[in-house]
Amino acid sequence: MKNIPDEYRQRGYKPGYNQWHWKKLPRYCYMIDLDSIEIRNKQPKTIIELRSTPTPLNDWQKEIVLNISKKLEIPSYLVYHNNDLTVFDITDLNTDERKKLTEDEYIDFLKGVSKNKSYLDQNKNLKS
């Protein structure tokens, strides 16, 4: 795993496209792996960066996700989840507002994503 940044090795980095990218391309050719873009009626509605461990986005990663979010005029979230996918800790990347949701609440979150509005802001009654 030569030429792979320490931050990736520490997270149990697995071989695949990302490793190939790091090995074959020069250091100025960065990439990020966006995990999910929720789509409704063939339109992007929100960007979701998923994490199963509480590892925050680097500042430059957050800046890129927010830049894409702004250009698409959709919200973006960082979502940590437990291994059995029953607890979801969501951070709105635009406002840094954070909520912990149950599986049912997260399902409602995914059903309720809407353009130009933060779901967390629309649902203030959810647990903090």
pLDDT single digits (tens) 96-119: 999 999 999 999 999 888 644 555
Q: Which of 77, 75, 76, 127 is nearest to 102 (CA)?
A: 127
What kind of fold does domain 34-122 have according to CATH?
Answer: Rossmann fold (3.40.50)
- CA–CA distances in Å: residue 58 to residues 16, 62, 96, 120: 22, 6, 14, 22
The domain spans of the chain are: 1-31, 34-122
Global pTM? 0.75
Categorize the per-residue pLDDT at 92 as very low, low, confident or very high, splitting at 50, 70 and 90. Answer: very high
Lowest mean pLDDT among 3-12, 22-31, 47-56, 102-111: 3-12
pLDDT single digits (tens) 21-41: 888 889 888 787 788 999 988
